[in-house]
A and B are shown apart, each in its own frame.
Chain A
């Protein structure tokens, strides 16, 4: 079980958080877990949309104190 890599994209606007996530996904290995932090309101719906479309896995998605915490496992 690998550690969760935090991708802190707070205070950036769309599509900043998604692009940050994708940059880090590219550098990760299959099986790695990444947790995206975003204050962009649209991220809660739009990031999972991307993750599902591309074929990775959403582990969890919750908003805590105004910050989206979206955990993703790299599948391929």
Chain B
């Protein structure tokens, strides 16, 4: 029986996006049911044409810029490709930014409201970054 792993990404720093992407990719590839809710400053990295270069919080973030560290966007993509993870953009954030699903990268799923996300997340684990 797969676990439900729910990840809420709200912060746009490299460290937090990286950690969220690591958990999402490993959990999804292990057969867990993974949903990643993208809102606030984390969502903009999934807008088509937006930079992937997230600002660092500290020393580890600098170290993660080196060769051999899988970029967080690649890990999220692998979570979707290898483990059917769902990347769910917050519908409120899309409204605020005046954009639609078509403006987001293709791996991102349907716009999702909090009621739906919370109801789907029921009984699972929740991680917030």
Judging by beta carbons under 8 Å apart, are A18 and B29 in contact?
Answer: yes
- B68's partner among A12, A18, A50, A54 (CB-CB below 8 A) is A12
- Given contact pairs A26-B82, A50-B30, A53-B30, A19 touches B75 in the complex (Cβ within 8 A): yes
- Given contact pairs A50-B30, A54-B31, A19 touches B69 in the complex (Cβ within 8 A): no
Chain A 1-28 residues near chain B, CB threshold 8 A: 11-16, 18-19, 22-23, 26
Cβ of A11: which chain B residues have Cβ within 8 Å of it? Answer: 67-68
- B70's partner among A15, A26, A53, A54 (CB-CB below 8 A) is A15
- Given contact pairs A19-B78, A22-B82, A26-B82, A13 touches B30 in the complex (Cβ within 8 A): no
Cβ of B78: which chain A residues have Cβ within 8 Å of it? Answer: 19, 22-23
Q: How many A-B residue pairs have CB under 8 A?
A: 38
Judging by beta carbons under 8 Å apart, are B75 and A54 in contact?
Answer: no
Chain B 92-106 residues near chain A, CB threshold 8 A: none
Complex: A11 Cα to B70 Cα, angstroms: 11
Complex: A25 Cα to B75 Cα, angstroms: 17
Chain A 40-67 residues near chain B, CB threshold 8 A: 50, 53-54
B residues with CB within 8 A of A: 22, 25-26, 29-31, 67-70, 75, 78, 82
Q: List 18 A-B contacts (CB under 8 A).
A: A12-B69, A13-B69, A13-B70, A15-B25, A15-B70, A15-B75, A16-B68, A19-B26, A19-B29, A19-B70, A19-B78, A22-B29, A22-B78, A23-B82, A50-B29, A50-B30, A53-B30, A54-B30
A residues with CB within 8 A of B: 11-16, 18-19, 22-23, 26, 50, 53-54
8 extra interchain contacts, Cβ-Cβ under 8 A, other than A18-B29, A19-B26, A19-B29? A12-B68, A12-B69, A15-B25, A19-B70, A22-B29, A22-B82, A26-B82, A50-B30
